[in-house]
Structure 1
Amino acid sequence: MGISLRGGVRRAALTGLTTFSLAGALALGLAPVAGAASPATANPYNPATGHAYRHGVIPTVAQGAKMKQWASSHASPTATSANTLSYGGGIGGVGVNDGKSQVYLVFYGSQWGTQSTNGSGDATFSGDPDGAAPVTQEMFKGIGTGNELWSADLTQWCDGNGVATGATSCPASGASYVPYQSGGILSGVWYDNSGASPSAATGNQLGQEAVKAATHFGNTTAASNRHAYYVILSPTGTNPDNYQGQYCAWHDYTGDSSLTGGAVNSPDGPLAFSNQPYNMDSGSGCGVGFVNSPGTLDGWTMTLGHEWHEMMSDQFPAGGWTNTSSGQENSDECAWIAAGQAGGAANVAMGTGTFTEQASWSNDTNACAISHPIVNHGGNSVTVTNPGNQTGTVGTAVSLQINGSDSGGASLTYSATGLPAGLSISSSGLISGTPSASGTSTVSVTATDSTGASGSTSFTWTVNPSSTETVSVTNPGSQTGTVGTAVSKQISATDSAGKSLTFSATGLPAGLSISSSGLISGTPTTAATSSVTVTATSGTASGSTSFSWTINPSGGGGCTSPGQKLANPGFESGSASWTATAGVIGQNGPSEPAHSGSWNAWLDGYGTTHTDTLAQKVAVPAGCTDTFSFWLHIDTDETTTTTAYDTLKVQVLSSTGSVLGTLATYSNLNANSGYSQHSFNLSSYAGQTVTLKFTGSEDASLQTSFVIDDTAVNAS
């Protein structure tokens, strides 16, 4: 089985390059990293190389390792302080976010699914398999609470007329500093489900989404957006700005002319925004399990915090604080340092929970640190008296006065997050109202004076159900049904106070749903037994019941449509019935001979950053044992035995293109001398029409070829 670089087969190879000049770099598309002092310092493994708008870009773990290896062999012999950040002079007078940060979360695209609200008041989505949305909201609510000092690193950075371009520290006077972000910074959440998020949104499209969000939130002037930050969160299964295999997130602003498609026209002034892919799709490459086990959201909260830190110190890149040699910002210089090492990632406790974060660089300590003292610049200080944990009862009025003091005697204005439903706070600090739902909330109250100084305190507030109201849900008994046969089942319930009820359910068989009035309907698609729980709530009390629901296969349990279901399974009819990247399907012997016949599908093998795909839509029969199989050969020029640089992902997609499941991921670590067969059970998708998709991704160097032949979907 031959190992070959495809450059000489179907693509011109780069040969004869004996020097690396500026002209040569530009000819290869290796534009210098934004802010770099010289194109010769551009790291070819940096995802920002050739994409200058990717400010603060976080490479994948593997890509970061390659960057560090390249940098260590190209270190400048004259560098005196390689990590020191300097001030860029500001853009339109803006260098840092020197006020109360206002974070707006934009869930971009209908693929996020159905929106609901959890007990903490957070938006949740049915298309969020890892539960990332509520954790994001709690993290931004928690910044500046619970005495956390992870964000206090930012209080050393400044802008203003008194700060000279190129300065590496802030002056004693004439500067405006980033204040400590007391009391949480989440300012709004918007689900933009007006359409589907693009499968691979460009930087320009992400900037346009930030403009839409500013309009949605009523931030229609440059002044209202001075301290605003729009986090554009793409749904699972999408590949915004082609992040997969390269990086995990970046931030920018709408006025950046280097954005793909050019600067975004914003009538509301320049807008700071970030590209936050659903990077759990990239697994450990974007930090899954980086600190904790299983640590599914470790990398997610780390990249959210990384980009926010960098936006605060460099709001409109690169007018703030950056490394002029490398183009890196404060969080870039501390990315992917393992937990337990100096400056390593760690779990940070806030008033709303514990979140995995990374350290950021500090000029004042010349180190990466996960915690930093709050830098006091001589302004007023605000103290808020903690009233202690509170309790109450649904339907019983509340009146609680919060008190605070200001060191300069200035008047205070109060705000709060996390109040129980039905309660509100006045500007003078009086919390009042009548609780309307039971539960426990973490409340943060912030007092702000006329100079912008603020202080906060946090406490819990437990609201107990009314002792006189009960909800009873009638158990319908165990249910049975058949794949393909419609269902209609009304669930009944009563409320002791005579209130109307709203129903919800978990565990319903695939294809069934429940209306707010309690009618379960639909057509079952999958044979299985489910444990169903139905809950009815009046808004002040709730009740539930549970029962089993068994869905039998159609046709009495026999396989009514046996046989092989894929068309052109061995590619002997060329590209017929397959959708593939150009050049994937062909007669590739003797370089990559077929397993049988003379045709096969050859993904990647170029030795450059490249992605190939191969896919076919197939109807998976119900009532059968459905097995998907294929023969796979992998050869590679990679020499590592520990790092998966090049990957082949095998996935099942829905009719709308969303990822239903990942069957397997292969890499250069799985290279073999011949073909081997791989098989997977598709019975969980019985009764559905799905797309079976192969996605091969190579990094910037050393080829890996993924060769596929003799595919099949057998029903028996």
Structure 2
Amino acid sequence: MNPSPSRPRGRRVRAVLGVAVAAALLPASQLLAAPHASAAPAASAAPGASQSHGADTAARSADGGVVHFVRSHGHLVRVVTHGRYGIVAADGTSAVPARRRANSGGLQYNGGVVQHSPRVYLVYWGSQWDNDSNGIQPYMTNLFNGIGTSSDSWSATTTQYPDSSGTGPSFTGPVLAGSWVDDSAPAPAAAQQADIAAEADAAASHFGVAGDPDAQIVVMSPHGTSPDGWPSSGFCAWHDYTGSVSYSNMPYQLDAPSGSRCPNAALGGKLDAFSIVEGHEFAESVTDPQPSSGWVDANGEEIGDLCESNFQDVTLSTGTFAMQPLWSNNDGGCVITPGSGTGSATAR
């Protein structure tokens, strides 16, 4: 995909150094997204794993994405990919996000939508998930059953960012709206981005949320798989959108090799990387669900990209989770809990 000079560049997540540092994302794939996507047909939820069928590199959607035709759940479906957007610091130290913040000027609105009532749908892709000996599924359930409740002040930072309607994100209860173990077939050993988009489409069809701008699908790949070249492609996770549904590519973080910069056990918890990395993708999908048409800075950085260090434990009603700070325009910096601030962000 050729970057469009009129849009901020997207960022790819890179892994993070060692135990005490954050998931780092290198701008490996500088791919751009225009504000709105043309709707791609939802994949059928019939049994069968996704498999890339090929992409016509000359074919572009109305919003500039690349059109692919993918075999998914027994059907050939059309999906559109725009890039890989998401997390993190480049070298696993606080120096890189600090340099980004120094050159940032804060988040700016680019004319697109934000999620007004965010809802998360977890899809555990593949029959490999029938064995979850590390307890990833209950961990993710507890995380998203805690986010959005009265015990959660972490996500409140996102509420200062409205879209052109004047409405911003709001939270009135758990954001988790559904979980699905798609065990109709094994997940591909090496899914491509189009395969992941097709699985997100299938999940949107399964949950009945195709076309819902407030839905975000988290595609959880199982142990032993390498979605989009992970872990050697320079990211811990990323997000994009298909049709109008936002989705995240969430690899099996415990498979990161020794020396990886993905933040496993960042604060001493075995599953810390899952909450840090997916928490980052969640917040960015809320404030920039169709990258980069929501809230990004002048360099294309999103709400999590500027704050990829200084992880802290956040206590929710469902447990304690390692999380990263988020950028607050109101506070002029990275916060775990928004302060009093002055003024509010305005969509112009």
Task: Report the TM-score when normalising by structure 1.
Answer: 0.36
Question: How far apart, in 2, do the equivalents of 1:369 and 1:71 lie?
Answer: 14
Alignment partner, residue 87 of structure 1: 109
CA shift in 2, pair 1:330/1:69, >3 Å: closer
1:356 aligns with 2:322: yes
Alignment partner, residue 184 of structure 2: 194
Q: 1:80 deviation in Å?
A: 7.6
Q: 1:146 deviation in Å?
A: 4.8
Q: 1:69 deviation in Å?
A: 6.0
Alignment partner, residue 54 of structure 1: 84
Query: Is the radius of gyration larger for structure 1 or structure 2?
Result: 1
CA shift in 2, pair 1:48/1:31, >3 Å: farther
Q: 1:64 deviation in Å?
A: 3.0
8 Å contact 1:87–1:322 — kept in the other structure?
Answer: yes
Question: How far apart, in 2, do the equivalents of 1:71 and 1:151 lie?
Answer: 22
Taking the TM superposition and a 5 Å limit, the aligned residue runs for 1:346-425 are: 346-372=312-338
Question: How far apart, in 1, do the equivalents of 2:296 and 2:301 lie?
Answer: 6
Q: 1:297 deviation in Å?
A: 0.8
CA shift in 2, pair 1:347/1:110, >3 Å: same
CA shift in 2, pair 1:206/1:58, >3 Å: farther
Alignment partner, residue 305 of structure 2: 332
2:126 to 109, 119, 123: 109
Q: Which one has the bigger strand percentage?
A: 1
Question: How far apart, in 1, do the equivalents of 2:228 and 2:4 lie?
Answer: 17
Q: Which one has the bigger helix percentage?
A: 2
Question: Residue 261 of structure 2 aligns to a residue in which SS?
Answer: helix
Question: How far apart, in 2, do the equivalents of 1:80 and 1:237 lie?
Answer: 39
Supply the AA of the counterpart residue of 1:211. Answer: D
Question: How far apart, in 2, do the equivalents of 1:249 and 1:199 lie?
Answer: 17
Q: 1:70 deviation in Å?
A: 11
CA shift in 2, pair 1:372/1:176, >3 Å: same
Question: How far apart, in 1, do the equivalents of 2:104 and 2:285 lie?
Answer: 21
Of structures 1 and 2, the one with the larger relative CO (CA 8 A, separation 6+) is 2
Question: Residue 334 of structure 1 aligns to a residue in which SS?
Answer: coil
8 Å contact 1:30–1:49 — kept in the other structure?
Answer: no
Alignment partner, residue 529 of structure 1: none
- Which string of whole-angstrom CA distances, capped at 9 and with x for unpartnered residues, describes residues 395-449 of structure 1? xxxxxxxxxxxxxxxxxxxxxxxxxxxxxxxxxxxxxxxxxxxxxxxxxxxxxxx
Alignment partner, residue 273 of structure 2: 299
Supply the AA of the counterpart residue of 2:115. Answer: N
Alignment partner, residue 285 of structure 1: 261
Alignment partner, residue 453 of structure 1: none
Root-mean-square deviation (CA), in Å? 3.2
1:131 to 107, 132, 135: 135
CA shift in 2, pair 1:249/1:32, >3 Å: farther
8 Å contact 1:33–1:50 — kept in the other structure?
Answer: no
1:141 to 121, 126, 145: 145
Taking the TM superposition and a 5 Å limit, the aligned residue runs for 1:233-272 are: 233-245=220-232, 246-254=234-242, 269-272=243-246
Supply the AA of the counterpart residue of 2:237. Answer: A
Question: Residue 159 of structure 1 aligns to a residue in which SS?
Answer: coil
Q: 1:105 deviation in Å?
A: 0.4
CA shift in 2, pair 1:83/1:305, >3 Å: farther
Q: Identity of paired residues, percent?
A: 36
Q: 1:130 deviation in Å?
A: 2.3
Runs of 5+ consecutive residues of structure 1 not aligned to the other structure: 1-25, 38-44, 114-125, 162-174, 255-268, 338-343, 378-716
Question: Residue 198 of structure 1 aligns to a residue in which SS?
Answer: coil
Runs of 5+ consecutive residues of structure 2 not aligned to the other structure: 11-24, 33-82, 344-348
CA shift in 2, pair 1:357/1:67, >3 Å: closer
Question: How far apart, in 1, do the equivalents of 2:254 and 2:27 lie?
Answer: 18
Task: Report the TM-score when normalising by structure 2.
Answer: 0.71
CA shift in 2, pair 1:363/1:277, >3 Å: same
Q: 1:65 deviation in Å?
A: 3.7
Question: How far apart, in 2, do the equivalents of 1:309 and 1:348 lie?
Answer: 15
